[in-house]
Copies of this chain bind each other. A is one copy, B any other.
Amino acid sequence: MVPHLTTALTGPINELEARMLESVPAIERWFRLEWMEHTPPFYAAVDLRNAGFKLAPVDTDLFPSRFNGLTPQMLPLAVQAAMAAIEKICPEAKNLLLVPGVAWRNTYYQEHLQTLVQVFTQAGLNVRVGSLDRKLNRTETFVLPDGSGLQVQPLVRGKRRLGVDGFDPCTILLNHDLAEGVPGLLEDLHEQYLLPPLHAAASQRRKSTYFQSYEEVARKFAKLLGMDPWLLHPLHGRCGEVDLSSEAGIECLKAQADAVLAKVRRKHKEYGIRSEAFVIIKADGGRSGQGVVSLRSSAELDDPQRRQRIIDAQVLPSEVIVQEGVPTHERVSEAVAEPVVYTIDRYVVGGMYRVHAERGVEESLDAPGTIYAPLAFAETARLPQPGERPGASAPNRFYMYGVVARLALLAAAYELEATDPDAERFE
């Protein structure tokens, strides 16, 4: 199943793609050197938006789900990447404990867990699934649509280590985003690798911190290629600890929205882009994809209903990020689509399209009614040919997606270093 792409590739993105294709060895070497200094998140899913004139990540999920949506042809890549990751982190590793998210009773999510179990088994680990759900008090076995069985066990916390009955893991892989906070069960573990680390929890991360790291990465990378970094990153502003039900809070938000909109309009003018500027307002903390509102003008905030929607959308009451909206110009069979790129360690292991038939080009597609189609990576694995006309063929597109997804990954590495509570700082 190969989605039919109808991306409108016009304007600066063609130049960006051409620059990337003629710079493959330099780009890959640059990543190689960056990964010598920075540790990539263990796994991730990066949401990209290709606006035709710019390509930018809009979310980097450090607790990725839907691995079962990758094409089977891609799984050997995931296994190989997992092998490389394990070898680096803990080559003697024998046992891996996988901690699923809240949806662990959902069959589709269980298929995702089963895919992870297979990938890490094949990479050389004994894998068990242990749920944080306190209502689970005995091992449950689920029969999946492919006939295979998946066991989910209650976690057993010893004085210093976490496991499941009769299984003491050296590595614990979280697939639970911990959006409601970090449970004590996961704290003060002794000589067990916890991946990702607790400060990557959705309750701890701030989108503004992440996008600040991303801007830094995009600037470095754009310098390497001699390009405008704006082609790769969404502009953003934030309001700190303000009360959105107060006029002062709304004024801060309006000021930020106006500032971002003005910058975006300037860029549109510079490049002769005719699409109308808009901004996205979302909670700075909390789960990915929650509470997203878009505005074309700060005046919209004078509408009390619209204001209430923003207040309702907050996971944490008072921190908000205002981000340049990146429309998506991609379609799969007429429906609006955005690519999601999956990584393990520093490697791109696959991707898919998030497709929503009822959403517009400026809206979030991470919403009920969304379907997923595998990205045509497998069919387009032919490597980019130097000298080939950019945009002429799909594989080139995917190289560019892989590059920007890895920039997003590198930004998460920067972010996690900056927010690491145990880091030694020499400043």
Q: In the complex, are the beta carbons of A122 and B75 less than 8 A apart?
A: no
Contacts of A74 in B (CB 8 A): 381
Number of A positions contacting B (CB below 8 A): 47
Q: This chain: how many copies in the complex?
A: 2
Q: In the complex, are the beta carbons of A36 and B91 less than 8 A apart?
A: yes
Given A80-B80, A80-B347, A84-B84, verify A24-B72 contact (CB < 8 Å).
Answer: no
Q: In the complex, are the beta carbons of B124 and A27 less than 8 A apart?
A: yes
Interface residues of A: mostly helix, strand, loop or mixed? helix
Contacts of A72 in B (CB 8 A): 381-382
Chain A residues numbered 337-393 whose CB sits less than 8 Å from any CB in chain B? 347, 377-378, 381-387
CA A86 to CA B31, docked complex, whole Å = 12
**A5 interface contact, C-beta 8 A:** no
Chain A residues numbered 98-144 whose CB sits less than 8 Å from any CB in chain B? 118-119, 121-127
Which of B33, B80, B125, B377 is A92 in contact with, Cβ under 8 Å? B33
Give 15 A-B pairs besides A29-B124, A36-B91, A121-B383 with Cβ atoms closer than 8 angstroms. A24-B121, A24-B122, A25-B121, A25-B125, A32-B86, A32-B87, A32-B124, A35-B87, A36-B87, A73-B73, A73-B378, A74-B381, A80-B347, A84-B84, A148-B385
Q: Which of A's residues lie within 8 Å of B, judged by CB?
A: 24-25, 27-29, 31-33, 35-36, 72-77, 79-81, 83-84, 86-87, 91-94, 118-119, 121-127, 148, 347, 377-378, 381-387
